[in-house]
């Protein structure tokens, strides 16, 4: 092997990587919040709503879960402008990722809601809890606790999937890697380094999620 | 040159779907072999082998598939290899699918009670015989629904190969968009084709899962 590795040029462009990292983190965090909100509302509607709410939610979930994220992204970023809706790359990325994660969250949380036995809800009612209290303490909280591991790993997968937004030129970590690649021609070094950065992020997120579980659910 | 989007373009898109399917098949085959090895490592009796399997899964499930595609496609050329999109995609997807299938199958192997292994041992079966005659036949039944479910993920994720110039459904969609300049319609058709491939599999996976729960 005659190739000598040079990470120096790649590290010299650390400001690019840092900018990209910030957008990747922003995209991930905002999408996780949006995904959780969509997931909770959607799952509640999917399980307890009337048919005219249940049906559209089911169609939304199945459509998103059975098509690739990159096609959804292209449809929103390249396709919608012809219908008069024009977004910049970052906004399109936020929208596509939220819609995508929302569908997965609905499916996960729905499974949690359906796992709550009817008798448990009745027990709550018989203790004199109001409808909202029953929903909050007897249904949502145990359901989230039950589905927490699935939800957390879906969120970590989403963080990794944000790399796809580089393909619509949103300036995330992966996009910055391509920029550095085209400037330094250090292809191998830059992509290995970025892969390592994602790995570190994935582990940090997993640790944070485990900590959050201890904080919110473990003692109750 | 911009021309009208016509029925022939739709046919081209449908024709490109075979490359999506071919890549899925390769990824499933390669990933299946890797996954089998990982699942066996993960249930191995010797701890260092288990760690090896665990580290593999941790690394692959903690990095984006896109990074693997780029490392193989752009990165390996520095060693003097010319890597075609086919090779890069086959390698990346085998690595990626191997980690997920390995984890799925490990779960299925571990779902078989310890006593089943012991029963085999007490009948005088060796370790490979226990696996072959007792554990795997039972684990296989558990493994089918989640494996079909993962197949859906795999079909969808082959779309990422478009970024290294691998001509499949999504790439064909990009090319059609470039000549017809009708991105909305084209990507809608592309999405519809993916849906037509994935939705039946999702339903099959769900039905199999339900039947499994009833049987137990």
Write out pLDDT tens, residues A109-160.
999 999 998 898 899 999 988 888 888 888 989 999 999 999 999 999 999 9
**Chain B contacts of A3, Cβ < 8 Å?**
78-80
B188 at interface of A, judged by CB pairs closer than 8 A:
yes
Mean pLDDT of chain A: 90
CA distance B159 to B48: 36
**How much of chain A, in percent, has pLDDT values that exceed 70?**
98
Is A84 in CB contact (< 8 Å) with chain B? no
- What is the Cα–Cα distance from A164 to A187, expressed in whole angstroms? 18
Query: Would you say A97 and A38 are in contact if contact means Cβ atoms under 8 Å apart?
Result: no
In a domain, B146, yes or no: yes
Which CATH number does the domain housing residue B117 bear? Answer: 1.10.3720.10
Tell me, yes or no, whether B64 lies in a domain. yes
Residue B196 lies in a domain: no
**Residue A131 C-alpha, separation from nearest chain B C-alpha, in angstroms:** 31
Of B188, B181, B152, the residue nearest B13 (C-alpha):
B188
pLDDT of residue B146: 93
> What is the reported pLDDT for A94?
95
- Most confident range, picked from A10-14, A129-133, A205-209, B74-78: A205-209
- Domain A8-218 indexed as CATH 1.10.3720.10: yes
Of B64, B186, B190, the CB nearest to A160: B64
CA–CA separation, B53 vs B40, rounded Å?
8
Flag the least confident range among A6-15, A25-34, B187-196: A6-15
Range with top average pLDDT, A79-83, A85-89, B29-33, B181-185: B29-33
Check if the beta carbon of residue B106 is closer than 8 Å to that of residue B39: yes
Among chain A residues, the shortest Cα distance to B69 is held by A191
* B85 assigned to some structural domain: yes
What are the boundaries of each domain within chain A?
8-218
Torsion sign (Cα): A204, A208, A209, A211? positive
- B7 in a structural domain: no
Specify the pLDDT at position B1: 59
A180-202 average pLDDT score: 87
What is the nearest CA distance from A142 to chain B, expressed in angstroms?
22
- pLDDT for residue A1 is more than 70: no
Q: Is residue B65 part of a domain?
A: yes
Q: Which of A138, A136, A139, A165 is nearest to A47 (CA)?
A: A139
Range of the domain at B90: 18-167
How many structural domains compose chain B?
1
Query: Is the Cα dihedral A133, A136, A140, A145 positive or negative?
Result: negative
- Looking at the complex, report in whole angstroms how far the Cα of residue A166 sits from the nearest Cα belonging to chain B: 10
Those residues of chain B that have pLDDT short of 50 are none
Separation between Cα atoms, residue B172 and residue B176, nearest integer Å:
6
B201 within some domain = no
pLDDT of res. B169: 94
The sign of the dihedral angle between the CA atoms of B135, B137, B142, B148 is positive
């Amino acid at each position: 092997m005659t190739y000598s590795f040079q990470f120096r040029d790649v590290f010299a462009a650390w400001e690019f990587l840092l900018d990209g990292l910030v957008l990747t983190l922003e995209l991930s965090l905002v999408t996780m919040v949006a995904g959780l909100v969509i997931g909770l509302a959607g799952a509640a509607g999917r399980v307890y709503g009337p048919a005219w709410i249940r049906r559209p939610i089911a169609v939304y979930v199945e459509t998103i879960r059975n098509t690739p994220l990159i096609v959804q992204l292209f449809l929103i970023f390249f396709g919608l402008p012809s219908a008069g809706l024009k977004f910049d790359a970052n906004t399109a990325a936020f929208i596509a990722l939220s819609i995508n994660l929302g569908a997965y969250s609905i499916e996960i949380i729905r499974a949690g809601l359906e796992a709550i036995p009817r008798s448990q809800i009745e027990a709550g009612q018989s203790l004199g809890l109001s409808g909202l209290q029953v929903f909050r303490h007897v249904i949502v909280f145990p359901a989230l606790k039950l589905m927490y591991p699935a939800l957390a790993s879906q969120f970590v997968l989403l963080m990794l999937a944000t790399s796809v937004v580089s393909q619509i030129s949103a300036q995330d970590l992966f996009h910055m890697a391509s920029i550095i690649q085209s400037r330094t021609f250090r292809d191998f070094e830059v992509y290995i380094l970025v892969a390592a950065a994602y790995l570190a992020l994935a582990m940090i997120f997993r640790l944070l999620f485990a900590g959050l579980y201890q904080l919110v659910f473990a003692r109750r | 040159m911009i021309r009208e989007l016509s029925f022939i373009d739709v046919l081209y898109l449908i024709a490109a779907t075979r490359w999506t399917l071919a890549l899925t098949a390769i990824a499933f085959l390669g990933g299946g072999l890797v996954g089998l090895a990982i699942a066996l490592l993960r249930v191995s009796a010797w701890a260092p082998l288990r760690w090896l399997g665990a580290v593999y899964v941790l690394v692959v499930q903690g990095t984006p598939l896109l990074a693997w595609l780029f490392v193989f496609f752009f990165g390996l050329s520095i060693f003097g290899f010319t890597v075609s999109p086919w090779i890069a995609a086959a390698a990346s997807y085998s690595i990626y699918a191997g980690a997920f299938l390995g984890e799925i199958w490990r779960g299925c192997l571990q779902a078989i009670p310890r006593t089943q292994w012991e029963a085999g041992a007490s009948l005088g079966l060796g370790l490979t015989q226990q696996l072959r005659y007792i554990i795997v036949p039972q684990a296989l039944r558990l493994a089918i629904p989640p494996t079909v479910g993962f197949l859906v993920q795999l079909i969808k994720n082959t779309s990422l190969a478009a970024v290294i110039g691998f001509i499949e459904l999504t790439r064909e969609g990009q090319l059609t968009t470039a000549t017809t300049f009708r991105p909305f319609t084209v990507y809608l058709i592309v999405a519809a084709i993916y849906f037509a491939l994935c939705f039946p599999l999702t339903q099959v996976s769900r039905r199999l899962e339900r039947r499994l729960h009833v049987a137990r």
